Amino acid sequence: MRTRAARILVPLVAALVVSSCIFGQPDTTKPTPTPSPTAVPSPTPPRLELSTYQYGLQVKGRIRVGVLDKDQPFSVRSGAAYDGFDADIAREIARAIWGPNDDPDTHIEWVSVDASTRISALTSNQADIVLGGLAINDENKKLIDLSDGYLKNGQRLLVKKANNDIKEIADLASGDQTVCAIKGSTWEADLKKITNDRAKILELETLEFCLQALKSGAADALTHDEAVLVNIVYRDPDVKLAAKAFTDVQLGIGMKKNTANDRTGFRDFINTALLTIVANRTWAKIYERWLAPLTGDKKQLPTD
């Protein structure tokens, strides 16, 4: 009996072992399915009021930004885009419209302007905003809308790099130093006013003539708006800025006037965007990158 049972049991166990080998192992003849990749959500743009101009820009997917060509370090063409202080401020405006996680350059159409076309680019609807040395003054306000100040552009002095005698505007009041100013200009008038007409002024017809006088030693300094002088320092390593700004001129972002209600909410939106980048120190970082190496200043606010 035991022998007969063994003869029956052994083949049965063998069959079970074979079946477990066949059915218990994975089928390597079929490819292992791979999990589908998780879709990356598109950046969600900020929710804007439907009736506003900025919402219209958001829907269109682009903003036309007017900037000056070859205006280092504020704006200079870099391929199809622009780099510089003004260009980076424009990028922050674009981020306010399409969100911080979206590439602002994909939404900016750069428009080249100069001093004679920066206002007409707005009034003729060729640009949505212009950053290009637009002073916030009554003359410009008659033609366009302007944001709150995004940069102070007061009058300063330019001297040779080796000049350590002129550090403050008070150093000019003694009359020992000669300052070149464009004849009949506001810069000449402001210099006379701030020094009580005690500065020794060399009056010449153009900025180029004043720069030549400084380089030749005919003048110890020249005076003009800070933005213009910064551009000179950028190009010429032999000169530097001296003294703090002694006038207060604010530059604003230009927009077409909302006369036909076609720019509803836009100026307030731009101002809010500027306040945001000041509050989160983005403005200070942009200033430190582009302007601080040339002005010698570290600023936290556009009004500094």
Q: How far is it, in rounded angstroms, from Cα 156 to Cα 181?
A: 11
Helix (H) / strand (E) containing 195: none
Q: How far is it, in rounded angstroms, from Cα 212 to Cα 186?
A: 20
DSSP letter, residue 71? B
Q: Pick from 251, 288, 269, 265: which is nearest to 95 by CA? A: 269
Domain 155-242: CATH architecture, name and number where available: 3-Layer(aba) Sandwich (3.40)
pLDDT average, residue stretch 170-183: 92
Taking the CA of residue 132 as centre, how many other CA atoms within 13 Å lie in the half-sphere pointing to its CB?
28
85 and 96 Cβ atoms separated by less than 8 Å: no
- Can 53-152+250-295 and 155-242 be said to share one CATH topology? yes
| 64-93 pLDDT per residue, tens | 999 999 999 999 998 889 999 999 999 999
Q: How far is it, in rounded angstroms, from Cα 88 to Cα 4?
A: 94
65 and 131 Cβ atoms separated by less than 8 Å: yes
3-state secondary structure of 76: strand
Q: Pick from 227, 266, 249: which is nearest to 93 by CA? A: 266
Q: What does the domain layout of the chain look like in residue ranges?
A: 53-152+250-295, 155-242
Dihedral of the alpha carbons of 86, 90, 96, 101, in degrees to the nearest 10? -100
For residue 279, pLDDT over 60 is answered with yes
Whether cis (ω within 30° of 0) applies to the bond prior to 11 is no
CA of residue 207 relative to chain centroid, distance: 27
Candidate CATH numbers 3.90.1150.10, 1.50.10.10, 3.40.190.10, 3.40.50.300; the one for domain 53-152+250-295: 3.40.190.10
Q: How much is the pTM?
A: 0.84
| 195-227 pLDDT per residue, tens | 999 999 999 999 999 999 999 999 999 999 999
DSSP letter, residue 52? S
Please spell the DSSP secondary structure of 143-192, one letter per residue.
TSEE-S-SEE--EEEEEETT--S--SGGGGTTS-SEEEEETTSHHHHHHH
For residue 169, pLDDT over 70 is answered with yes
